[in-house]
Every structure is written in structure tokens, then in C-alpha cells.
Structure 1
């Protein structure tokens, strides 16, 4: 009968288990040390999408297109920044532009006003050789004390010469006694021109 080697086998198994535990411990310690010493990978920052900039509110000075206009009439002559002559079927008509005033340039016995020549030149640039439409205003007299027809002057049904002159600083808003139909738009246009220092608002102090 062969001798039983149970004691030797048990001891061998015990040594194997000890080595396995020791090896596992070494591996665990190595992994921990490596993770401590390794540079951490930064977590990418999550940025919020840029918020669209909110621009200035749309201008409220633009006029609604006008349908019932008189004309077109050929511009016969530009007197100054707020007075023109047009040729109608009934003859030559002097038109004083409603809602604006420009510095004097041709008034007898009165000096030329600051920015008057520039205003007159701008009206000539806009109107010389052109035809225009007229818009009367029921809130105003049809003619002034000098016999001039009072009207808004339009190059097209969407392009008001009166308003353009105010908006670009070539004329100031002008109210005579009773508010005219487009008064609010003209006041807003002048405020914008003044804030931007356009035309007469920077040249004339």
C-alpha cells in the first residue's frame, strides 16, 4: 500500500493560494499607483450655444406706402431745401414741403443759414430732372400764406423726400399750429438724426 502524501499536497496548495493572493495584491497596488500618478484627462467643457445678439428695435420712422398720390409731376425748379416748383397739367405750382424746415438761403434781407446750402444741394441732387408725386394733408391748409401748395413730396409711393431730408440731417422737423398726418414719424426721424450727429446736427452745433 502506497504512502499517503496528503500533508505535502495541502502545503503545496496553501503556498499556491498565498502566491495568488500576493500577486493580486501587487497588481492592485500597481494599478492604484498608476492611476494616482497618471495625468488626468480633462473633461471637455460643455459650453452653451451663443445667444443671438438682440439688435436695435426696427425704426418706427418709416412711412406706410401711400396709394392716393397726385402726379407724377416733373420738377421744374428747386428753390431751396423745403420749396420746389413742379409742372402740372394746370401749370407751374410752387410746393412747400410739409413737416420740415431748412435753413434759409434765398430769403431777401436774411443771412444764409448754417447748412442751408447743403440742404438745397441735397434736394437738387434728389429731384433735378426727376418727376415726383404729391400728397396733400387734410389736417393742414391746402396753401400757406405765400400761396404755396402744402404737400408731402414722394419719389415713389414708398420714398418720402420730406422724411428722407429729416432722417439724414438736412432738415429739421417743423410743426405749424396743427400736428400733420406723419408728425410722429418725422419726430422719430429727427431724434435719430440728432443722436447720430447727422448733417446739420453736427455741423451747426
Structure 2
């Protein structure tokens, strides 16, 4: 069938209108959230420009599996973001070393007793991070994301205590610390203020131990 010039123009106008409507509608569509009930990348993290340089999100949502000691916790792995670093009773887990603090050592793999305050620090962190608690693993933009063992070096954010590491310091079970030669984590100044108060009050393990960790 032969098309007339006016018919072609009319068809072109309809196509243009449909194109504009389609594009406008796409702008109003909501962003797809993570699957409910599973660890996922935080929506806020995905919009954080701080992740652009590393190509990875600034924070990741997951859940606590267990507390290992006063400055270390195991969480559920998240594919592509928190790879399994170990297995505990056959369950894969990702280990997070709380950035910016150090607690007394439990000495699990050494022929030595736990350091002064180690058991109390471990138990206290267990109260802050009970099994199954949803947490956000938040990375410091100026520090390494992982150590040589593949563990995350990060802040652990909770609904109740916000920053688990700061709470450990505030309550007297850990001290501010980071390796010499490494960039100073952003939260070190507030951890130092919290530590000064804890020492002055003889809070937590400070009432029993002459020193706590390497802080």
C-alpha cells in the first residue's frame, strides 16, 4: 500500500510523542531495592560518591554470625562484596576487624592465657553485636578496606549503638589504635576522647588492667 506524505508526517509525530512519554515515565520509576531478608548493598552507599574511586560501595549491609574477640566479629558473606574468609562449624563467614581500636588478645592460637580484660572485652562486644543482628559494614575512605588475611577493616554500625568500636572504647574494653605507617582513620580523634573519659572513670577493664590492648 502506498503511503501519502501526510500519513508519513502523522506517523512520525505519533512516534515522537510515544518516545517522549516513555522517557519521562522511566525517570519516575523507583530504584530496585535489595531482596528482602538477604544481605545487600546499602542504597545510601550506592549513592555515595566516595565509592567511585574504588569501584566498590562505601558500606554493605549484613548480619552478625558471632563475635570472635573484643575487636573482631564474623558476619554473613555478601557475594562480590564480603567474600568468605573462613568457616565456623561448617558455615562460611566473613571476618571484620573493627577499624581504629585494639582490645586485649584472647590468644586462641597461642600457648598463653588471654590478656587481662580479654574475656570481658569479648563478652561486652557480644552484647553490642549479638548473633543475627543486622549491621552495616562501613569503610573509611582513607584507610585500607582489607588486611593481608582478607578481613574487612571497617566500622560496624548497629541500630542501637551506632558505632560498635566507639562503644567498646567508651565502656572501657578497647583503646584507639592503628598500625604505624598507615593512614589515620577518620574516627580516631573521637575514639581518643572516649578513651580519655573511660580511663578517668576507670570504666570496664580499666579498673582491673594496667593497659588494654596496644592502645
Q: TM-score range by the shorter chain?
A: 0.5 to 0.7
Tell me the equivalent position of 1:137: 140
RMSD of the TM alignment (CA)?
A: 1.9
1-structure distance, mates of 2:68, 2:107: 8
Distance 1:127 1:146, change over 3 A: same
* 1:157 Cα deviation after fit: 9.0
Matched, 1:81 2:84: no
Deviation at 1:111, TM superposition (A): 2.8
Offset at 1:82? 0.8
Distance 1:167 1:136 in 2: 21
Question: What is the TM-score of this pair, normalised by structure 2?
Answer: 0.60
Change (3 A) 1:158 1:128: closer
**Structure showing greater Rg:** 1
Task: Say which of 168, 184, 188 aligns to 2:189.
Answer: 184
1:115 corresponds to 2:150: no
Deviation at 1:81, TM superposition (A): 0.9
CA-CA distance at 1:158 after TM superposition: 6.9
Q: What TM-score do you get using the length of structure 1 for normalisation?
A: 0.63
Deviating beyond 2 angstroms after TM superposition, the runs of 4 or more aligned structure 1 residues are 67-72
Provide closer, same or farther for how the CA distance between residues 158 and 112 of structure 1 changes in structure 2, counting only shifts above 3 A.
Answer: closer
Distance 1:157 1:202, change over 3 A: closer
Please give the alpha-carbon distance, in whole angstroms, between the structure 1 residues aligned to 2:185 and 2:78: 27
